[in-house]
Amino acid sequence: MKTLLCFFYCIYSCVVLCDSSLVGAVVSMTAVSSAESLIKDKDKGLFSWLSSADDFLLEEVMLIANENTNNHGALKVHIVILYNKEVFSELMRSSSNEYFSNIEQLVKDHPNEIKIFEWQLVAKKTISPWIRLEYPNNHMKPIGGIVFANYSNGGIGRSLIPKEHARIKITFEENDFHITPENNEEE
């Protein structure tokens, strides 16, 4: 962001204070400087300058079901990725039972503002491989994600996905689940 602001300030300075023929030289010099800083910071990726601390970064999940998951019964799990703040707020106030009762209507009302990944887990010690999540709305950035699990005990069964992690493990236990952020290196 600093580079971008510096870039526009340099162009403004050249146009207002100097000869407009200097604009091309400043643009070229700034572009080279920006490219060099991106190359030096290759761990963040070429487009890291487009993201901010508020970006939702989730790319992969691992699902872990224990032997006693959902009192030894099957468990329906949804990872819900949202593109609308109002829908996000509404779902954060919903219990798992409310969510699963209303999800069909919610998808009908907001077809381009919600993406659902779903699984049916069985109650035995199961660990999935890393599952890559594909986002269909390339023109929109997701604002957040929520995990819903339809436990038979009727508990909350809902958890916010941390925004700042690209990989998470979700461990499903007898009556609840927890999310563990993972580093982004291959295991």
**Residue 160 and residue 110: Cα distance in Å, rounded?**
20
Q: Is 104 found in the same domain as 38?
A: no
Sheet of 75-82: strand order equals 114-121, 75-82, 144-149, 158-160
Q: What is the pLDDT of residue 55?
A: 85
Q: What is the CATH number of the domain that holds 66?
A: 2.60.40.4150
Q: What is the pLDDT of residue 43?
A: 39
Q: Which of 24-28, 65-69, 70-74, 143-147 has the lowest mean pLDDT?
A: 24-28
Q: Is 71 found in the same domain as 41?
A: no
| Mean local confidence (pLDDT), 29-50 | 40
**Residue 93 and residue 81: Cα distance in Å, rounded?**
16
pLDDT tops 60 at residue 130: yes
Q: What is the pTM of this model?
A: 0.69
Q: Is 159 found in the same domain as 123?
A: yes
Q: What is the pLDDT of residue 19?
A: 47
Q: DSSP state, 55?
A: -
Among 8-17, 45-54, 132-141, 163-172, top mean pLDDT goes to 163-172
SS3 166: coil
Which is higher by pLDDT, 185 or 104? 104
Longest Cα pair distance anywhere in the chain, in angstroms? 76
What pairing do the DSSP bridges indicate for beta strands 114-121 and 126-127? unpaired
Domain that holds residue 42: 2-50
Residue located via tokens 């819903």: 148
Q: Is 175 found in the same domain as 99?
A: yes
Would 55 be classed as within a structural domain? no
| Mean local confidence (pLDDT), 18-33 | 40
Q: What is the pLDDT of residue 65?
A: 94
Q: Is 85 found in the same domain as 134?
A: yes
Q: How confident is the model at residue 52 (pLDDT cuts 50, 70, 90)?
A: low
Q: Is 144 found in the same domain as 120?
A: yes
Final residue before a domain boundary, out of 12, 27, 50: 50
**Using N-to-C axis directions, what is the helix angle for 85-92 and 96-109, rounded to 10°?**
160
Q: Is 64 found in the same domain as 156?
A: yes
Q: What is the pLDDT of residue 160?
A: 96
